[in-house]
Every structure is written in C-alpha cells, then in structure tokens.
Structure 1
Amino acid sequence: MRLAVCDEQWLFASVLAAAFAQHGHQTVLATNQPSVLLDHAAEVRFELCVLDIVTGSPSAVEVAEHLTALDPRPAVLLLTDSCRDGVWKAYERGLFQGIVNKACAFPILMEAIDRIAAGEQVSEGWQSPERRQDHAVIDTLTSRELEVLRLVVQGQSTQMMADQLGVSAHTIRTHVQQVLRKLGVHGRGKIARAAAAAGLVDSTTLSRAEGIPR
C-alpha cells in the first residue's frame, strides 16, 4: 500500500516509515506536521494514512474529516496512546478505519493495516466506551446468573436449565429476571444480544439463540 505517516514525533514517524518499507509498503510521505500532510494529500494520493495528533492543530479528527473530501479517499488509522474525547465518535462515523494502541506490537499494527486494506474497521489495544459499559454491566452478575445467561444463549428452556443446575424452575425464572433487570433488557432474545455485545458469545451462538424457548 501507499502510506503516509504523520506523528507529532518526527523520529517516530521516520522510523515507522522505514519499518513499513521493510514489510513491502511504500511510504510516500512521513511528517510531523498535519498541515504538510493535508497540503500533499491530493497530489500524493496515498491509500492509507497512519497518524497520531494529540496536541497539534488540526487534530487527528479534523485531519480525517479533511481527507474525506479526497477522491479516492484514503483510509485513516489512528496509532495513538491517548484516545481523547471525539475519537470514538469519529470511529463510529467512519472517519477512522482503525484505532491501534501504540503499546501494541508491530505485527499487530501490520495485521490491522492488512485488515483495513481488506475493508474491515479495526480496533486493537483499545475498548470503545460502549464495550467498557457492557463489561461493567456483566460484572454485576453473580456467578449463577452468569451461568444462567450462558444457558439462555445456548437456547435451553427453563426446565432444561433447572434440570442441569439441580434447582427448581421457579429459581431459574428468578435468575432470568435478575439477568434481565441488570442488563436492562426485556426478553430472552435480548439477553443473547447483550451477551454478544459484551463479547461473551460469538455471532454463531447468537444466531442459534434466535427464538429461544421458555
């Protein structure tokens, strides 16, 4: 890929550009000044911009917004150790195709670039605020409630769960109601989706959980 690197630390930008070159990517621009990047963007026509602009002006979000005007539009990967306000909203809007923590190993960064090239949106080394909130909710569940949740997303009925756990059907219904309350959802199908959002089940398990019996 034809890459541009913009980082507030010029030495880091140049070292990263050299590393990309060793792995078969062509770095057509390496700079520590966002204005230079934007001035050359239309002429250079890079495919991906790897940037970290925390304190500079324009900001990383503003740079990504400017780049949307280009045709073809380059992908933008934010390589940073500071996800400040506005970054995740920009990611949700599609301004960033990737966000990678600078603490991640270089192979993870390279894999993220390959995935972006394949059309994915990537986050490595960070959790979005929504995902952190999901995990905070899951953490309020007791071990038995978490066990019941997992049985629910497996599609087991109330009686099946009662038989497996050695408790009454009434006890299972009570646990299910507690799970519903803590997750803030109504219906067992939504329990499954909340569990998937928190990373407790994968999409295959979620699809099997559609139309869960009572």
Structure 2
Amino acid sequence: MSVRVVVADDQELVRAGFAMILDAQPDIDVVAEAGDGFAAVAAVREHRPDVVLLDIRMPGMDGIEAARIVCAETASKVIMLTTFDRDDYLFDALRAGAAGFLLKDVRRDDLAHAVRVVAAGESLLAPAATRRLISQFTTGGARPVLPDRRLDALTARERETLRLLADGLTNAEIAAALVVSEHTVKTHVSNVLTKLGLRDRVQAVIVAYETGLTVPGQR
C-alpha cells in the first residue's frame, strides 16, 4: 500500500519538484499540492494523507499553524520544510506535533527515505541539524528554575531509554547500549510516550531537554 503525501510550499518550482521526486517512487503517492497553509489544511482534511510536507514560511497561514491544526485534527504525520538550518520557529513546529524537519536542499533519496520513516511512525531525529536545533531552542534560559517532576512517572530504565533517544540513537543502537532486545526498547519507548502523554519521539526528545535529563553537547 502506497504512502499518501500532501506537499505544501508557496514556491511552485520547489513544490512541483518535491512532488515529482516522491511520485516517482513506487511506494509513494502524492495526492495533493498546496501553496499556503489554508490550502494545505484543506487538502489534508479532504485526502487524509499519511504524511504532509509543510513549508515553515508560507503566506496567509504559515506552516507552524497548519502543523498545529493537522496534528490536532488528524493522524497525518508532519515534516516541516525550511530553507534554513536555523529557524526561530522550528521549535514551535516540533511542539505543535511535527515529526521532524528537512532542509529544502535535501537529496532526493533522503527525501523519499524521510517520508517512509515518518509514515512508519518514526521521527527525523538522526540528522545532526535536528538535534542541534532542538538543543538550542530548549536551552538558553528556558530551563525551569523549579524541579521538573514530569519524569517521576518513569522507571530508571525508561529514563535511560529517553536519554539515549534524545542523543539521537535508533532503537537498535539503544538496544545495544542497554544490552536488551529491540522489542524491549520499543516497549520502553511506548511506555515513555504513554506516561508523559506525548505524541511521538520528537516530543519525547523535547521533554528530555526541557527537564534537564539531557544536556546539549554531552554524550
């Protein structure tokens, strides 16, 4: 079954190029294109795609607000698109529920891979730029002064899983680090998301930074 995708970008050539690359994949089907946030939300409501590519900066309704609506109303996974590797609004997009982001100069193979990864329920945490941006936006004076009790519900092993996840490790790498099976890691990750009331792994990483469980630059 094909992964259904909506591509939203106000630059027609960029939008058409992404759509052409994805449509050329045997397992990906672009069901709609949109030139602004309003059109993107309308397309998602009509087609209920698996994945939505949203440009952060669009006229009318920007990608962040569109992501917030899409993530609140549907099960569609959102990938943010940006020209910049540092965007002041990226953290807001991740908190809105976006599964990650891509720079617009992404290679065609990486674009298709990203869509498949997100459609499968994973998040785009591996790219170094993603981790760097999450780190920047969750620090710099934003660390809570009072103790953060959100992690109290987690077991010691679940905390360690969250810390490794925030370091950008895959399930296989976490399993190797903890000397457990990947199935056990998936269970730990699922427990973390459920106990913290989170949508996906990206939001879990944000919590890890916000609570001080993970400190940028430390491994």
Aligned mates of 1:99, 1:109 — CA distance in 2: 10
Q: Does 1:26 align with 2:25?
A: no
What's the TM-score once normalised by structure 2's chain length? 0.57
1:162-191, CA deviations, whole angstroms, 9 ceiling, x for partnerless residues?
Answer: xxxxxxxxxxxxxxxxxxxxxxxxxxxxxx
Of 124, 133, 139, which aligns to 1:128? 133
| SS of aligned partner of 1:109 | helix
| SS of aligned partner of 1:41 | helix
Query: In the superposition, relative to structure 1, how do residues 205 and 54 fare at CA in structure 2: closer, same or farther (>3 Å)?
Result: same
Aligned mates of 2:82, 2:35 — CA distance in 1: 14
Aligned mates of 1:132, 1:65 — CA distance in 2: 18
Query: In the superposition, relative to structure 1, how do residues 55 and 34 fare at CA in structure 2: closer, same or farther (>3 Å)?
Result: closer
> Contact 1:103/1:125 (CA < 8 Å) preserved in 2?
no
Q: How does 1:58-77 map to 2 (within 5 A)?
A: 58-71=61-74, 73-77=75-79
Q: Does 1:207 align with 2:210?
A: no
Larger radius of gyration: 1
TM-superposed CA distance for 1:2, in Å, is 1.0
What's the TM-score once normalised by structure 1's chain length? 0.58
Given residue 3 of structure 1, which amino acid in structure 2 is its aligned partner?
A: V
- Which stretches in structure 1 are left out of the alignment for 5+ residues? 135-192, 209-214
Higher RCO (C-alpha 8 Å, min separation 6): 2
Aligned mates of 1:114, 1:198 — CA distance in 2: 22
TM-superposed CA distance for 1:32, in Å, is 1.5
Q: How does 1:1-214 map to 2 (within 5 A)?
A: 1-24=3-26, 25-71=28-74, 73-82=75-84, 83-91=86-94, 93=95, 95-123=97-125, 124=127, 126=129, 127-130=132-135, 203=174, 207=178
1:66-119, CA deviations, whole angstroms, 9 ceiling, x for partnerless residues?
Answer: 112434x2111112222422312432x361112112232111121111111221
Percentage of matched positions with identical amino acids: 22
Query: In the superposition, relative to structure 1, how do residues 120 and 18 fare at CA in structure 2: closer, same or farther (>3 Å)?
Result: same
TM-superposed CA distance for 1:194, in Å, is 8.3
TM-superposed CA distance for 1:125, in Å, is 5.7
TM-superposed CA distance for 1:198, in Å, is 5.9
| SS of aligned partner of 1:64 | helix
Aligned mates of 2:168, 2:19 — CA distance in 1: 34
> Contact 1:131/1:198 (CA < 8 Å) preserved in 2?
no
> Contact 2:56/2:81 (CA < 8 Å) preserved in 1?
no
Aligned mates of 1:35, 1:52 — CA distance in 2: 12
RMSD value, Cα? 3.5
Aligned mates of 1:197, 1:14 — CA distance in 2: 34
Structure 1 runs of 4+ with >4 Å offset: 131-134, 193-200
> Contact 2:50/2:77 (CA < 8 Å) preserved in 1?
yes
